[in-house]
């Protein structure tokens, strides 16, 4: 009887720990005071370019699982969630060697709509990203909107205006973070989203489950920029992630598993293209250590 009660107690504590942990993670991550205290340490860290598989190298393996004349499922169409996300992100690359910020932000809003129903860890991440999207949109639609049409235009103007200098507590409180700093945070989150979705799409029955793979993507893309407490909370939160089959069903409703995998891999491929273009631009403008 004592053993049974102990087991029930542990199960109940674990169920309660997940939402409480996510709430703590969300509050800490949004705290400007915590981020301000940590920014000086992070500024000295060496920037890293996470290594990830090239999507086009694996897609032929997925294509072999479907019919030779593969027809895109509805989720990639004009009314589908993946299609709605892919189109603006792809459009953000129309400028040669640059990224259009309005289209980039529209793609992010669609990505958030897609991620939110996928589980509690995505809900947490989407809340933080939504705040960053809104902050950058305030620049894009604000008084100096002509300087925020693209990533390169924004970086050049903010450097001339002195907005890329290390912020002290006074200037940070008055003006808020620069658009370039905000974009860098979104850029890292995009890498995590892309890696997670790609690994869900290409995982095999012998691979770790979706929670473990998305957790590994977190350690690659975001954990190096987070303090220890947030990393530990995130590790627990990934235990609540739905199974791969459930994520595929949510990503592409009504499609076969093979079609859903292919559709998700194609969507992740567009995110990879946007990430690579943005990574090169941020590196070229010397912005990878900005936050």
Dihedral pair phi/psi, residue 149, rounded to 5°: -75, -30
Question: Are 262 and 66 a contacting pair, CB within 8 Å?
Answer: yes
Q: Would you state the pLDDT for residue 70?
A: 65
Containing structural domain, residue 258: 2-45+54-284
Does residue 79 belong to any structural domain of this protein?
yes
pLDDT higher than threshold 70 for residue 106: yes
Alpha carbons 105 and 6: distance in angstroms, whole number: 49
Structure tokens that stand for 279 in this block: 């990574």
How many folded domains does the chain comprise?
A: 1
pLDDT digits (tens, 9 = 90+) for 133-154: 999 999 999 999 999 999 999 9
pTM, whole model, 2 decimals? 0.74
Going by C-alpha positions, the residue among 228, 21, 245 that lies closest to residue 124 is 21
The CA-atom distances, in angstroms, between 92 and each of 111, 259, 277, 280 are 14, 26, 10, 15
Residue pLDDT, tens place only, 261-280: 999 999 999 999 999 999 99
Does 289 fall in a domain?
A: no
Residue 290 domain flag? no
Asked, for residue 154, whether it belongs to a domain, the answer is: yes
Mean pLDDT of all residues belonging to the chain: 77
**Is residue 67 included in any domain, yes or no?**
yes
> Does residue 122 fall inside a structural domain?
yes
Q: Where residue 198 falls among pLDDT bands split at 50, 70, 90?
A: very high
Out of 60-64, 70-74, 184-188, the most confident range is 184-188
CATH number at residue 160: 1.10.3520.10
Please indicate, yes or no, if residue 183 is contained in any of the structural domains. Answer: yes
In a domain, 64, yes or no: yes
């Amino acid at each position: 009887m004592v053993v049974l009660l102990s087991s029930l107690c542990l199960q109940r504590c674990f169920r309660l720990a997940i939402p409480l942990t996510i709430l703590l993670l969300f509050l800490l991550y949004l705290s400007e005071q915590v981020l301000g205290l940590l920014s000086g340490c992070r500024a000295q860290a060496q920037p890293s370019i996470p290594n990830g598989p090239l999507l086009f190298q694996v897609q032929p393996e997925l294509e072999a699982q479907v019919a030779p004349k593969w027809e895109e499922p509805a989720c990639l169409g004009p009314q589908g969630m993946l299609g709605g996300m892919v189109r603006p992100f792809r459009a953000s690359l129309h400028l040669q060697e640059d990224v259009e910020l309005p289209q980039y932000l529209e793609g992010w809003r669609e990505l958030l709509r897609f991620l939110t129903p996928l589980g509690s860890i995505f809900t947490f991440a989407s809340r933080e990203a939504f705040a960053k999207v809104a902050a950058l949109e305030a620049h894009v639609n604000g008084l100096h909107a002509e300087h925020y049409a693209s990533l390169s235009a924004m970086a050049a103007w903010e450097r001339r205006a002195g907005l890329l200098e290390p912020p002290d507590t006074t200037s940070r409180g008055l003006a808020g973070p620069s658009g370039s700093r905000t974009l860098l945070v979104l850029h890292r989150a995009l890498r995590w989203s892309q890696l997670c979705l790609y690994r869900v799409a290409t995982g095999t029955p012998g691979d770790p489950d979706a929670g473990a793979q998305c957790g590994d993507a977190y350690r690659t893309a975001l954990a190096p920029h987070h303090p220890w407490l947030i990393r530990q909370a995130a590790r627990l939160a990934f235990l609540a992630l739905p199974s791969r089959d459930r994520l595929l069903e949510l990503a592409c409703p009504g499609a076969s598993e093979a079609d859903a995998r292919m559709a998700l891999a194609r969507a992740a491929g567009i995110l990879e293209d946007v990430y690579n273009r943005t990574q090169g631009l941020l590196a070229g403008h010397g912005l990878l250590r900005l936050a």
